[in-house]
Amino acid sequence: MRKLLAAALCLAATGCGANVESSSDAKSTSVTLTNCGREVTYHKVPERVVTNDVGITELMFALGLEDRMAGFAMPDDKGDLTDVPWKDGYDKVKWLSKDQLTKENVLDAKGDFVFAGWNYGFRDDNGLTPDALKKLGIPSYVLTESCRNGRTETSRGIMPPLDALYADLTNLGKLFGVEKRAATLIAGFKKRVADVATKAPEKKPKVFLYDSGQDQPFTSGRWAAPDEIISKAGGVNVMHDVDDSWTTVGWESVVERNPDVIVICDYGDVSAEQKRKFLLSYGPLRNVSAVKHQRIFVLDYVDLVESPRNPAAIARLGAYLRSVSRPS
């Protein structure tokens, strides 16, 4: 009888749905979280969350929170979303926009919470920022991978990428009353990553992440997810010393660091195969080890941004690095 009464009170107070783990997890009081190094207080459990981009959206799905969502914004160049672990989430939740997330999207969806990130929906030039939403009475949460670090006006990254993933899962678990589910996910992810580490090659291959760009390559510094995806897979990100997340570098620095492997981010209008052909035909790279030996590996965009797919990407890349590190 007490359990039934508690559940009824939970529904009355917060509108919690079937995805909430138990009546004791649903909070009707305020929740204070640390986000981007600042304490932020949320006064109720969000019921109509709007997310931006595939990795952020799948964090919600992985926690079983699709019933708390009003919709998501995402370009339709993120790969096949019909054969993924969270297909049910995509089937249930409305695709609000295949362009940039806007305040209008949020308002039209009657959103009461926005989960996005800097350059993952939040931008100064389009007026969609946490401060702008706050003025509309809509709270938000910033993806930790994208937190601005203050070193420049736009540089991002305040902690190692996998720590950022675990921090967001922990925070979301606390806010939505699914802490046990979040803890279980994190434990499973950590185990999978640790299992890959036990098989890592003795000599770590040097790896360059190539996202896009011909005049200058867009790549990952130490604070974007590829840095730890590469290191936990058993390699070394040749741009680890770049104190930023996703950023542009010069080809001369790639040539100088002579990566053994290039990982292509499959994303955007230029296909992975087109990117591969460019890399293999680009004159300045002809003596780079990865190009000479055609050691090029492809991962999807969602594998390489903060998302619940990161551990699986580490496992796949780890297997590839082991294969190219074996003596011939």
Number of domains in the chain: 2
Whether 282 and 177 map to the same domain: the answer is no
Gap between the Cα atoms of 139 and 126, Å rounded: 18
Gap between the Cα atoms of 25 and 1, Å rounded: 18
Whether 32 and 111 map to the same domain: the answer is yes
Whether 66 and 214 map to the same domain: the answer is no
Would you state the pLDDT for residue 327? 63
Asked which of 189, 208, 241 is the last residue of a domain, the reply is 189
φ/ψ of 30, rounded to 5, equals -70, 150
Whether 46 and 21 map to the same domain: the answer is yes
Would you state the pLDDT for residue 28? 52
Asked which of 189, 220, 248 is the last residue of a domain, the reply is 189
Both structure tokens of 22: 């138990």
Gap between the Cα atoms of 72 and 95, Å rounded: 5
Question: Which residue, 313, 310, 300, 307, is CA-closest to 54?
Answer: 307
* Coil, strand or helix at 70: strand
Whether 116 and 175 map to the same domain: the answer is yes
Torsion angle in degrees (nearest 10) through CA of 221, 223, 227, 233: 170
Whether 8 and 141 map to the same domain: the answer is yes
Domain containing 75: what range?
2-189
Query: SS3 sequence, 128-179?
Result: ECHHHHHHCCCCEEECHHHCECCCCCCCECCCCHHHHHHHHHHHHHHHHCCH
Whether 231 and 173 map to the same domain: the answer is no
Would you state the pLDDT for residue 24? 40
Asked which of 138, 166, 189 is the last residue of a domain, the reply is 189
Whether 26 and 164 map to the same domain: the answer is yes
Splitting the chain (328 residues) into consecutive groups of 10 residues, what average pLDDT does each group show? Answer: 36 39 52 97 97 97 98 85 86 94 96 96 92 97 95 90 97 98 98 95 95 96 95 97 94 98 94 97 97 97 95 97 81
Per the CB < 8 A criterion, the answer to whether 232 and 197 are in contact is yes
* Residue 125 within any structural domain of the chain: yes
Whether 31 and 177 map to the same domain: the answer is yes
* Residue 105 within any structural domain of the chain: yes
Would you state the pLDDT for residue 112? 98
* Residue 257 within any structural domain of the chain: yes
Both structure tokens of 82: 């019909």
* Residue 130 within any structural domain of the chain: yes
Would you state the pLDDT for residue 6? 39
* Residue 195 within any structural domain of the chain: no
Whether 204 and 180 map to the same domain: the answer is no
* Coil, strand or helix at 226: helix
Question: Which residue, 261, 267, 245, 243, is CA-closest to 205?
Answer: 261
Whether 234 and 157 map to the same domain: the answer is no
* Residue 194 within any structural domain of the chain: no
* Coil, strand or helix at 189: helix
Q: Specify the CATH number for the domain of residue 181.
A: 3.40.50.1980
* Residue 108 within any structural domain of the chain: yes
Both structure tokens of 278: 């460019």
Whether 209 and 175 map to the same domain: the answer is no
Question: Which residue, 96, 102, 144, 146, is CA-closest to 120?
Answer: 146
* Residue 319 within any structural domain of the chain: yes
